[in-house]
Amino acid sequence: MPFVPLTAAEAAAMLERVGVRSVDELFEVIPAAVRFPKLDLPDGQPELTVTRAVRGLAATDRPASELACFLGAGAYHHYIPSAVGALANRAEFATSYTPYQPEISQGTLQATFEFQSLVCDLFAMDVANASLYDGATAVAEAVLMAERLTRRERVVLAGSLHPEYRSVVQTYVAERGTELVSGGIHTDKGALREDDLVALIDERTACCVVQQPSFFGSIGDFTALRAACDRVGALLVMVCNPLSLGLLRPPGEWGADIAVAEGQSLGIPMSFGGPWVGLMATREKYVRQMPGRIAGAAKDAQGRRGYVLTLQAREQHIRREKATSNVCTNEALLALHSTIYLSLLGPSGLRQVAESCYQYAHYAAAEIGRLPGYEVLTPEPFFHEFVVRCPLPPADLNRRLLSEGILGGLPLGRFYPELSDCVLFCCTEMNTRAEIDALVATLAAG
């Protein structure tokens, strides 16, 4: 029996010591009518057999690593340096649990403290937590946090916020009495823009949530919005792409009160949607309303420096129904991936990869924009994604591309009926000029 080492002899000795004849006696408290059901599952199989079957499933997939990938929209195909996996998958990190006993968990605790520090430096914010589930739930938690801090119930979401993020916020605030207001988008002289949010900010507004770069790739200026929030005491929540922060002005410098992000682009495999990592940072004065675990520095009796989980009175195991959130298990191991990734790249590496994404995307946009019938709708400035209006149905286009080994961008019709002839393309450092030229050639061929 795999992973159950007990021998028959050991079991016999233990049963005798416990004072029962068989282990089934220990289950007598289970109502007889429902005890020991027959499970309609195959019997267990040896590792060799199971791996053959599982590999067989994986082999039928065509992953982005085998294709020229131009698909983004919140999940990104980036290069993960080999040292990330080699370190993060060490058993001492992977098979330990929440550091409840700090004396034997300093590895996890110090790595967490470093993660928090890196997020603060990247975002230019005061304090960060030890991670949430993903970028979308981080936005939802930020909204709840803003409602607690301001005691207001109206929340304004930018029209250019990732539609799935908006959806998660809706799930989290349903039936709470939150008034959720969404800005819209429009096209203006061939450029896709979002509706101005300033007019939507009023004295009942708890927070305004914006995304940088936007879902459509645009880089925005939030000076006017920050001023509008200041006028009524609303909080500014910014959702960022953390890799883009190797280049772009960080949320702290825009005056964000709460900054959140999806950390997948920092050294984490796409893995069909998860596990990823949600980042959250805020101003020092709001730290006690921030959800999630937090590691802090501490000293022992001999003055040695160590790290502990701290400010735990915010959390569910102490505060129960009055906790900032119900979050317990987080994304510690994925946060470690990001910590190692950022350590390996440093400022010049992160700047380099961000610039590469920018350069490839702009080359691609320029080349596609030259094709008859294709129109780039995302105006400058944009980061590494852009919307293209296509002369053919996007689904057909993507099928054609796939037959050439190219993973096309995201058809936007699923989220925006008015953009059902549009595709969101993404370029990263994983693309090459040859790949982009092949994409353009295939599009040109029609």
Partner 1 sequence: MGEPLLSELSVEGRPGHRFPVPDVPPTALPAPALLRERLPLPQLSEVDVVRHFTRLSQLNYAVDTGFYPLGSCTMKYNPKVDDEMARLPGFAALHPYQPPETTQGALRLLAELERALAEITGFAAVSLQPSAGAHGELTGMLIIRAHHLAQGDGRRRRVLVPDSAHGTNPATAAMCGYETVTVPSDARGNVDLEALRRELRDDVAALMLTAPSTLGLFDEHMLEIAAAVHEVGALLYGDGANLNALLGVARPADLGFDVFHMNLHKTFATPHGGGGPGAGPVAVRADLEPYLPVPVVARAADGTLFLDVDRPQSIGRVRAFGGHFGVLVRAYTYIRLLGADGLRRVSQTAVLNANYLRVLLQDAYDVAYNRPCMHEVVLSGRRQKARGARTLDVAKRLIDYGYHPPTVYFPLVVDEAMMIEPTETESKPTLDAFAAALQAIAAEAAERPELLHEAPHDTPVGRLDETTAARHPVLRWPVPERLAVTPTGAGREEPMGV
Partner 2 sequence: MTPDDRRYSSEHEWARVDGDEVVVGITDFAQTQLGDVVYVELPRVGDQVKQMKVMGVIESVKAASDLYSPVTGEVVAVNDAAVSEPQAINDSPYERGWLIRVRPDNLDELKGLMSAEEYDLHVSDRGAEE
Site for partner 2 in 295-354 (CB under 8 A): 312-313, 318-319, 322
Residue among 60 and 372 whose Cβ is closer to partner 1: 60
**Segment 187-246, which members bind partner 2 (CB under 8 A)?**
none
Asked if residue 373 lies in contact with residue 391, where contact means CB atoms within 8 angstroms, the answer is yes
CA–CA distances in Å: residue 321 to residues 130, 152, 209, 324 = 21, 20, 26, 9
Site of tokens 């403290």: 113
- Of partner 1, partner 2, none, which one does residue 370 interact with (CB within 5 to 8 Å by kind)? none
Nearest of 349, 343, 383 to residue 365 by alpha carbon: 383
CA–CA distances in Å: residue 237 to residues 30, 228, 315, 349, 435 = 50, 13, 22, 27, 37
Residue among 96 and 316 whose Cβ is closer to partner 2: 316
Task: Give 44's strand partners.
Answer: none
Residue among 49 and 312 whose Cβ is closer to partner 2: 312
Q: How far is the CB of 298 from partner 1 (least distance, A)?
A: 4
- Of partner 1, partner 2, none, which one does residue 52 interact with (CB within 5 to 8 Å by kind)? none
Binding residues with partner 2: total (CB under 8 A)? 6
Nearest of 1, 89, 84 to residue 43 by alpha carbon: 1
**Tokens, residue 210:** 């914006």
**Segment 144-163, which members bind partner 2 (CB under 8 A)?**
none
Residue 261, classed as helix, strand or coil, is strand
Q: Which amino acid is at 347?
A: P
Residue among 98 and 343 whose Cβ is closer to partner 2: 98
- Of partner 1, partner 2, none, which one does residue 36 interact with (CB within 5 to 8 Å by kind)? partner 1
- Of partner 2, partner 1, none, which one does residue 160 interact with (CB within 5 to 8 Å by kind)? none
Q: How far is the CB of 249 from partner 1 (least distance, A)?
A: 5
* DSSP structural state of residue 249: P
- Of partner 2, partner 1, none, which one does residue 336 interact with (CB within 5 to 8 Å by kind)? partner 1
Residue among 107 and 413 whose Cβ is closer to partner 1: 107
Nearest of 157, 132, 153, 162 to residue 290 by alpha carbon: 132
Q: How far is the CB of 247 from partner 1 (least distance, A)?
A: 6
Q: How far apart are CA 126 and CA 284, in angstroms?
A: 5
CA–CA distances in Å: residue 281 to residues 33, 129, 165, 244, 337 = 52, 7, 18, 17, 18
Q: How far is the CB of 436 from partner 1 (least distance, A)?
A: 7
- Of partner 2, partner 1, none, which one does residue 222 interact with (CB within 5 to 8 Å by kind)? none
Q: How far is the CB of 184 from partner 1 (least distance, A)?
A: 20
Q: How far apart are CA 79 and CA 64, in angstroms?
A: 12
Site of tokens 């400058």: 380
Residue among 17 and 299 whose Cβ is closer to partner 2: 299
* DSSP structural state of residue 132: B
Q: What is the CA radius of gyration of the chain?
A: 25
What is the pattern of x (binds partner 2, CB under 8 A) and - over residues 259-298? -----------------------------x----------
- Of partner 2, partner 1, none, which one does residue 104 interact with (CB within 5 to 8 Å by kind)? partner 1
Q: How far is the CB of 279 from partner 1 (least distance, A)?
A: 13
- Of partner 1, partner 2, none, which one does residue 379 interact with (CB within 5 to 8 Å by kind)? none
Asked if residue 152 lies in contact with residue 202, where contact means CB atoms within 8 angstroms, the answer is no
Q: How far is the CB of 227 from partner 1 (least distance, A)?
A: 15
Residue among 207 and 268 whose Cβ is closer to partner 1: 268
Q: How far is the CB of 446 from partner 1 (least distance, A)?
A: 20
What is the b/e burial string over 295-326, where b = at least 16 CB atoms within 10 angstroms of the residue's CB? beeeeeeeeeeebbbebeebbbeeeeeebbbe
Q: How far is the CB of 311 from partner 1 (least distance, A)?
A: 6
- Of partner 2, partner 1, none, which one does residue 21 interact with (CB within 5 to 8 Å by kind)? none
Nearest of 366, 400, 401, 404 to residue 386 by alpha carbon: 366
Q: How far apart are CA 209 and CA 157, in angstroms?
A: 5
Binding residues for partner 2, per CB under 8 A?
288, 312-313, 318-319, 322
